[in-house]
Amino acid sequence: MSDYSTLELTIDGGIARLVLNQPERGNPVDATSSRELKEVAITLSENDNVRVVLLTARGRAFSVGGDIKTFAKDRAALSTIVKAWTADFHSAIVRLMRMRAPVIAAVHGAVGGGSVSFVAACDLVYAARNVKFGSGFAQIGFSPDSGSTVTLTQRMGLSRAKRFLMLSEVLSAEEAAKAGLVDVVTDEAALMQDAEAAAQVLAKAAPLAIGGIKQLMLRTRVQGVEAQMEDEAQTLAGIARSDDAWEGINAFLQRRKPEFRGK
């Protein structure tokens, strides 16, 4: 069990279960949660035993986004607060995006502001039917942060992401799935079961192969087709030298389940 005030972290059987744990406040993004999330992201990215991260939250809301009440306390300090919080929160999101293990988000209730981008940065997003995704930045006179212009564009496309942000839209789970923000919509009662099932599949999968897919997909929008195809070849060639690749080939030929060790 972890020792954090805003988060809870447990690791078992290759699955890191990360829980946002400020239910009475709606799990906001604030100074403490941003710092702790950055620390957790470093811990997870350095742990080779972590095969997959399952991100959930306690309470009625997954996360309401930035703590606006804190913003309102001191106008003169507002820009400093923004820089301090984003330094940690952005670092956490980037490390989770770039780490080898995939991240699954299982979301319910309200997801607002920067937390929408946090969810969009995850590799798989499961959403309960009661979810509402809200972009409140422009509504309070803010431009977006938390990687919103990157992660939302990657999932929704440039024009759809721009409309979502500029109009401060609120999307249902089904609307978010249609836009590409959500991968799977499920009943609230089945949310954790469905997300856990996906986590179990990834926990047994080949870590090098899954990590290779994740890293290659991150680069698809920033380089040309020739460079991307060469990266695919180089990544596959490196993985082909691994024990896992040899195990996978032999298990296929022997008609048995492979046992991948991440080596």
CATH number of the domain where residue 244 is located: 1.10.12
Q: Which of 254, 205, 199 is nearest to 53 (CA)?
A: 199
pLDDT, average across residues 188-216: 96
Q: Which of 219, 96, 100, 101 is nearest to 146 (CA)?
A: 96
Residue 131: CB atoms within 10 A of its CB come to: 28
Asked if 53 and 7 count as a contact pair (C-beta separation under 8 A), the reply is: no
111-131 residue pLDDT tens:
999 999 999 999 999 999 999
Q: Give yes or no: residues 138 and 219 share one domain.
A: no
Q: Give yes or no: residues 87 and 177 share one domain.
A: yes
CATH number of the domain where residue 48 is located: 3.90.226.10
Query: Where does the pLDDT of residue 10 fall: very low under 50, low under 70, confident under 90, or very high at 90 and above?
Result: very high
Q: Flag whether 210 is in a domain.
A: yes
Q: Give yes or no: residues 87 and 216 share one domain.
A: no
Q: Give yes or no: residues 154 and 29 share one domain.
A: yes
Percent of the chain at pLDDT above 90?
82
Q: Give yes or no: residues 86 and 147 share one domain.
A: yes
Per-position DSSP letters for 210-250, written without gaps between them:
HHHHHHHHHTTTTS-HHHHHHHHHHHHHHHHTSHHHHHHHH
pLDDT at position 94, please?
96
Q: Which of 134, 23, 21, 145 is nearest to 78 (CA)?
A: 145
Q: Which of 2, 84, 80, 83 is nearest to 41 (CA)?
A: 2
**pTM for the full model?**
0.93
With residues binned 3-state (H G I as helix, E B as strand, rest as coil), the percentages for the chain, rounded to 5, are 50, 15, 30
Q: Flag whether 237 is in a domain.
A: yes
User: Whole domain around residue 228: which residue ranges?
Assistant: 205-254
Q: Which of 42, 28, 125 is nearest to 85 (CA)?
A: 28
Asked if 132 and 171 count as a contact pair (C-beta separation under 8 A), the reply is: yes
Q: Flag whether 235 is in a domain.
A: yes
Number of domains comprising the chain? 2
Q: Would you call 5 helix, strand, or coil by DSSP? A: coil
Q: Which of 6, 11, 2 is nearest to 52 (CA)?
A: 11
Q: Flag whether 70 is in a domain.
A: yes
130-175 residue pLDDT tens:
999 999 888 888 888 899 999 999 999 999 999 999 999 999 999 9
Arithmetic mean of pLDDT over the chain: 94
pLDDT, average across residues 228-252: 93
Q: Give yes or no: residues 210 and 135 share one domain.
A: no
Q: Flag whether 2 is in a domain.
A: no
Q: Give yes or no: residues 27 and 138 share one domain.
A: yes
